[in-house]
Structures are given as structure tokens and as C-alpha cells.
Structure 1
Amino acid sequence: MKPLACLRWAAVVLLVPTACSYDLAERPTGGPVDAAVDNTAPTAAPLRDIRWELSELNGKPTAFTEQTPFLVLHDGRARAEGRAGCNKFSGPYTAPVVGRLRLGPLATTRSACPDLPAEVAFLQALNKAQHYRIRGNTLSLYPADTLGVPLAQFQAAPGKK
């Protein structure tokens, strides 16, 4: 083979792997959101169209006297809805790739509630969320990265919406 022909062949071999395309929406991006979804968990819940009931807020178990706070991310209309205790909330959300999630702005009802400080803390956590991770039936929301204590943790409540 002539040297020029070898160079052309080498260039073709080097270019072929870069011609592959990857669907970034189907896998976590690099960096802090690696392992956003634990695909090895036998019962990993999907992010959308699930009622996620709050179990921890800022690393502490929740104890609301009203109803259990929850979050539902509707699939077709990119709308978040839920209850912060006794007040309801709703608003838009974006989840451009697996592991990234932004909520809001969220609108709430304004009932006088006994757990108003806890509701405010919950809504603030939702507004700060930028990343998520699902492990089994647990959804964790994080601020700028997925290191450290989650802003909020939720448990999937099958059959409820």
C-alpha cells in the first residue's frame, strides 16, 4: 500500500467512531449527575406521572400535622402539582436530560396553616432543585450538584396521583 493511501485509510478509521450519535435524553450526562437513575434497582420508579410523597426535608424526617406533602410531575404538559401540607401548589417544570430538573415558578394557595414554616421550607427546597436522582422508589432533589444531603427526598406512592 502506498503511504498516501495508508493515511487516507487511517483518517477514515479515526472518523468512523465520531459519526455515531447518542441520545443524551436517555442517559445521564457526565459530571455531578452521573448515576442520576439507578438502573440496577429492580423497581426503579419513573420520574413523571408518579405521586412522590415527601419523606425527608434537608436530611431530616418530615412530620407534618396536615396532609403528607407530595409532588407529581405530569408528563405530557410539563406541569408540576402537589401539596405542601395544607396548601396546594402548581407550576411548570423542565427536565431536559436525565438527572436535571427545574421547578417553577410555583403558585400556591394561601390558607392559614399550622405548619406554615415547614411548608415554606418545602417550597424553597423545590425552588432550589436543579438535579435529581432516583434509586429504587426514592426520588432525591439536589441543588447545584448531587453531592451532600438532598434538599428533599420522596417515596413513590403507587396508585395515587
Structure 2
Amino acid sequence: MQNHFDLFHLPQRFDIDMTALDKAYHEVQNQVHPDKFAHASDAEKRVAMQWATRANEAYKTLKSPFGRAAYLCELNGVDLQIESNTAMPGAFLMQQMEWRESLEDAKAAKDIGVLERLEAELRGARKKEVEQIGKLLDANDFHAAAQGVRQLMFLEKFGDEIGRIFETMDI
């Protein structure tokens, strides 16, 4: 079975052309669109639906830096050990603790300014982490990249948390 990169005729690397990904995705979706199979047999409709579902999953994975990085690690035989390996560098853990404390304070005080500052810091940290992961992946250092992917997962979850707090505040 072909991998997500092959499905869209893209090179198997972290740094991909998003325009090419979008174009390839739409081409695949056009080929398997339900309207094209309106008069087909049930089996043909089912196969087309499976391809559409697979294309959706592949597109979602490759569109996301986190998903793409995790997928590249897995394709290259590196288990991310997301559940079993929670070891993180001390500096990263300290940053997480500081951010969490600031988040709790901002939430309690309903301080939008602090939340916006935290969100900006997180965006910067996420961008830096994604760039580092990309360099490691494109240099075929999948084990080191896996550590970065685990860290990025924490950053993504923290960003989701900030977003939920923004949603609960009357702005």
C-alpha cells in the first residue's frame, strides 16, 4: 500500500510544497467524488468512498506539521512512544511549568493581555520546534526528531488549553 506522500506524488520529506499538496488532494478527491460513481455498482461506490476517506486522512496528516512529523518518524521505523516516553529536557519542563502557572493566574484574573502574551510565546516556541524537527527529519535523524515531536505534542495541547480559556471568557 502506498504511503501518504506517494498518494499525492510528493517527496517523502518534512518540508513539502503546501500548494502542491492542496492541488494533489483535490485531484484525488475529484477522481473518487461520489457524483462520478452515481451509476456504479455498490462495490465500486464502496471502493471510491474508501479512497476518499484515505485521501482525507492523508491530507489531514500531511497538512499538519505535527501530523507530518509523526508520520515521517513512523514511516522510518521510529516509535514515538507517546504514551510510554514522557521524558523531556529540564529547560522544556521548566518552561511548561512557568506557562501553566501564568495560564492559571490569567484564567483566575480573567486577564486577556496575559493570555495573548502566552499565546504569542507559544506560537514562537511552536514555530522554533517545528523548524528544528524539520531539519532533523530532512537530515534523516528520526530518533532526535521523535523527541521534538513529543515536545510539539505538549505545545499543541497547551495551545488548545489557551484556546478553550479564550472561548470561556466574555471578550
TM-score by length of 1: 0.30
More strand per residue: 1 or 2? Answer: 1
Give the structure with higher Rg (CA).
1
